[in-house]
Amino acid sequence: MITKNELDKLAQKYENRDFIKDDPVQFIHRYNDKKDIELAGFIASLLAYGSRKQFIKKLEQLLIDIAQDEPLNFIQNFEPEIIGDFNYRFGKPVDFVSIFKILKELYNTSNGLEELFEYGYEQNRLFEVAVDYFYARADKNVGQGFYHMIPNPHNGGAMKRMCMYLRWMVRKSSVDKGIWTFMPASELFIPLDVHVGRISRQMGLLTRKANDFKAVIELTEKLKEFDPEDPVKYDFAMFGYGVNEK
């Protein structure tokens, strides 16, 4: 098994400003306003699957060209025609329209995503409350893309992109913004995908074969043995270990 010292060195090496430029986290660093940051992060997390080069290009189109670099204003004044034919893989225009209409209601009637996730955290239903909010308001004509971008935690999947989004919002570092304070970094979950699953098994940190939420819990608990206050900092170590392998 990899040692704490080895993991700490990898995490420290790769958690720096250079990491930002090739990662979807770059989009939250474009803004200073808290609600712009959390909305840009949420939108970036929706599209963060498939080819990194492709989804970053699509996010630039969506956040910079379509939203005109003003995420909060874009959402609060959203009208479906603004989207045009924008799509990405499973996500069709109708799916994006529905998500943005729901966000418009959320931000025009409450304190936004922070309040929604905080309520979920207080209810010990961190993901379920947020997802239920969107599912209850989804347009009837949404397709697979809507449910791919906002996956159902009851299905037992890893919830990778939502875990990543929470890392961006809760952890405070040179990479993560840490603008939400309702929960400690010690309670975050590691964002688990095929790459992280493979690397963590090679490191001897994960025994479960499926990349599901049970694996997320197992890996996060193992990483807490190395750093109980900030286990998901090792997300950077997993990334770095993969780079070193190539």
CA–CA separation, 6 vs 178, rounded Å? 25
- Residue 44 sits at φ, ψ, to 5 deg, of -60, -40
What is the band of 242 on the pLDDT scale with cuts at 50, 70, 90? low
Length in residues, the chain: 246
Residue 150's CB is within 10 A of a number of other CB atoms, namely 24
Cβ(41)–Cβ(72) below 8 Å: no
User: What residue has token string 């990898």?
Assistant: 10
CA–CA separation, 84 vs 59, rounded Å? 15
Of 189, 165, 187, 190, residue with least CA distance to 177: 165
Q: What pLDDT does residue 152 have? A: 97
Supply the range of the domain harboring residue 59: 4-245
Q: Residue 42 — left, alpha, or beta (φ > 0 → left; ψ -120 to 50 → alpha)?
A: alpha
Residue 239's alpha-carbon distances to 192, 200, 224, in angstroms, are 11, 10, 18
CB neighbour burial string for 173-209, b if at least 16 within 10 angstroms, e if fewer: eebbbebbeebebeebbbbbbeebbebbbebebbeee
Q: What pLDDT does residue 199 have? A: 95
CA–CA separation, 221 vs 189, rounded Å? 9
Q: In DSSP terms, which residues pair with 177 in a beta bridge?
A: 172
What is the band of 220 on the pLDDT scale with cuts at 50, 70, 90? very high
Percent of the chain with pLDDT over 70: 98
Residue 184's alpha-carbon distances to 18, 33, 181, in angstroms, are 25, 22, 7
At residue 53, what is the residue type? Answer: K
CA–CA separation, 190 vs 187, rounded Å? 10
pLDDT of 14 > 70? The answer is: yes
In 3-state terms, what secondary structure has residue 32?
A: coil
Domain count, the chain: 1
Average pLDDT over residues 235-243: 83
Average pLDDT over residues 15-39: 96
Query: Which two structure tokens, joined as six digits, stand for 60?
Result: 């630039």
CA–CA separation, 140 vs 131, rounded Å? 16
pLDDT, tens only, 126-162: 999 999 999 999 999 999 999 999 999 999 999 999 9
Q: What pLDDT does residue 184 have? A: 98
| pTM score, whole prediction | 0.96
Cα pseudo-dihedral 48, 50, 53, 56, rounded to 10: -20
